């Protein structure tokens, strides 16, 4: 695309995200059944319907005496209600009696109310006259200090919906309603293909001119954090036939393919050619106005999203957050939960002037420092080919497309890693 002056126009981050959303018609991973003990953070593939009332019976929420509320109406300290205690309620057992008028039964928190009892008076509002007689000093309203049968949920209620990510409290409601297994989506598998004739693994000796693989490990960590399963396919030379075979092999077992490396012009052309050769529609965009990360390629081949990433670590992380993460999330099956996607941010003040004006949305790595009674964001400057700048940083700030920089002291929101 060219602008009015004939310059090559590069897609904005928003437009690129829009193209990704429009293309999002992916096949979700299979569902499997697992025990709830292993289901934390997994995504439900079916609605969950309770088969039991919770609680199954009316329970007391306090230690006290179960009563017929009407027996306590009008009770005050100077004219208490006198109630007989002919029975006892054992914890975890069904009372074998029903209350008649003028009777109460001692009950513990969580105990089951006897028949005809409809309220519980707290211990603190009773006086023991004898082992078999109490004074009630305040009236109890019907239902007071009682959780009714099915008040938490009823048999037949949908307690959790398909697409929900299971949190600790969700495991609680499953256990509480007797559900020990759930159907969830398998984690989406992301194949990570590292290219470059100069790249060697972290293990083994290294000869001059070679560099150890960094990007596959960063990507694998990011995929895992996002709820996917990374599969490191290995390191391959910048060769069309070799890479084509690896990608085709990845289609068999992966939901998403990430090709990392290839910052050089030749490598970028190769990745683009590969994505276009593997099936319709092929490349959807090539190049986005973001710094670092501009040369990113996105396409769909064989129904699978395929990303070609530039080789610099800082570009890898920015491209992942902006473009791969949304795709990976769709593939997890998690339903749009606005709030589960909010990032951890810290408001800080910028420690020095930053001038950008690259005509691209810039993502700047910053360290946080606490001094002068405030939090300061200190830019970690350095070439985007360095990994240690990312290691030193606590998060990033974003300078929008059309800003030319930020002044020292400006308030910024730091997105924490």
Range 292-321, binding its own copies (CB under 8 A): 311-313, 317
Q: Which of 21, 141, 206, 381 binds its own copies (CB under 8 A)?
A: 206
Q: Which of 343, 381, 405, 407 binds its own copies (CB under 8 A)?
A: 343
Residue closer to its own copies (CB basis): 173 or 410:
173
The tokens for 341 are: 């996607």
Residue closer to its own copies (CB basis): 297 or 300:
297
**Binding to its own copies, residues 130-189 (CB under 8 A):** 147, 151-153, 159-160, 166-180
- Which helix (H) or strand (E) segment holds residue 313: the answer is helix 313-319
Q: Does 264 bind its own copies (CB under 8 A)?
A: yes
On the 0-12 / 13-18 / 19+ scale of CB atoms within 10 A, 317 is buried
What is the Cα–Cα distance from 36 to 39, expressed in whole angstroms? Answer: 5
The two beta strands, 395-399 and 361-371, are antiparallel
3-class DSSP state for residue 31?
Answer: strand
Site string for its own copies, 93-132 (x = CB under 8 A): xxx------------xxxxx----------x---------
What is the Cα–Cα distance from 306 to 230, expressed in whole angstroms? Answer: 14
Residue closer to its own copies (CB basis): 19 or 147:
147
Site string for its own copies, 208-237 (x = CB under 8 A): xxxxxxxxxxxxxxx-xx------x-----
Candidates 125-133, 298-306, 324-332, 382-390: pick the segment binding its own copies (CB under 8 A): 382-390
The tokens for 123 are: 């211990």
Which of the 8 DSSP states describes residue 202?
Answer: S
Task: Report, in Å, the least distance between residue 394 CB and its own copies.
Answer: 5
Candidates 16-24, 26-34, 88-96, 405-413: pick the segment binding its own copies (CB under 8 A): 88-96
Report the 10 Å Cβ neighbour count for 143. 14
What is the Cα–Cα distance from 276 to 332, expressed in whole angstroms? Answer: 26
**Are 81 and 75 contacting, i.e. CB atoms less than 8 angstroms apart?**
yes
Q: Which of 21, 40, 76, 133 binds its own copies (CB under 8 A)?
A: 40
Residue closer to its own copies (CB basis): 199 or 284:
199
Q: Does 54 bind its own copies (CB under 8 A)?
A: yes
What is the Cα–Cα distance from 82 to 69, expressed in whole angstroms? Answer: 13
């Amino acid at each position: 695309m060219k602008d009015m002056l004939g310059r090559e126009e590069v897609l904005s981050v928003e437009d690129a995200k829009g193209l990704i959303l429009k293309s999002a018609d992916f096949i979700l991973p299979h569902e499997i059944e697992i025990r709830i003990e292993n289901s934390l953070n997994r995504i439900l593939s079916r609605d969950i319907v309770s088969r039991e009332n919770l609680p199954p019976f009316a329970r007391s929420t306090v230690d006290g005496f179960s009563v017929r509320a009407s027996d306590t109406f009008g009770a005050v300290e100077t004219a208490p209600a006198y109630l007989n205690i002919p029975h006892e309620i054992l914890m975890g057992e069904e009372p074998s009696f029903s209350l008649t008028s003028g009777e109460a039964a001692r009950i513990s928190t969580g105990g089951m109310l006897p028949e005809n009892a409809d309220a519980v008076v707290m211990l603190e509002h009773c006086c023991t006259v004898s082992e078999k007689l109490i004074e009630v000093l305040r009236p109890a309203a019907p239902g007071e200090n009682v959780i009714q049968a099915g008040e938490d949920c009823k048999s037949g209620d949908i307690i959790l919906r398909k697409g929900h990510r299971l949190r600790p409290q969700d495991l609680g409601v499953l256990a509480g309603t007797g559900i020990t297994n759930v159907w969830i989506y398998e984690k989406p598998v992301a194949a990570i293909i590292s290219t470059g004739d100069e790249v060697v693994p972290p293990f083994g000796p290294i000869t001059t001119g070679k560099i150890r693989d960094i990007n596959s490990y960063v990507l694998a960590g990011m995929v895992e954090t996002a709820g996917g399963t990374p599969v490191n396919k290995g390191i391959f030379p910048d060769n069309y036939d070799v890479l084509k075979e690896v990608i085709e092999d990845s289609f068999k077992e992966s939901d998403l393919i990430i090709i990392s490396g290839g910052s050089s012009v030749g490598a970028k052309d190769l990745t683009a050619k590969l994505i276009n050769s593997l099936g319709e529609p092929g490349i959807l965009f090539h190049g986005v106005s973001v710094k670092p990360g501009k040369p990113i390629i996105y396409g769909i081949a064989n129904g699978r999203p395929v990303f070609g990433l530039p080789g610099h670590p800082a570009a890898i992380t920015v491209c992942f957050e902006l473009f791969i993460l949304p795709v990976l999330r769709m593939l997890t099956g998690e339903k749009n939960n606005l709030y589960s996607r909010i990032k951890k941010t810290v408001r800080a003040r910028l420690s020095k002037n930053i001038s950008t004006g690259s005509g691209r949305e810039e993502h700047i790595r910053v360290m946080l420092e606490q001094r002068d009674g405030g939090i300061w964001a200190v830019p970690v400057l350095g070439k985007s080919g360095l990994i240690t700048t990312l290691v030193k940083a606590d998060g990033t700030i974003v300078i929008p497309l059309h800003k030319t920089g930020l002044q020292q002291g400006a308030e910024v929101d730091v997105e924490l890693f």
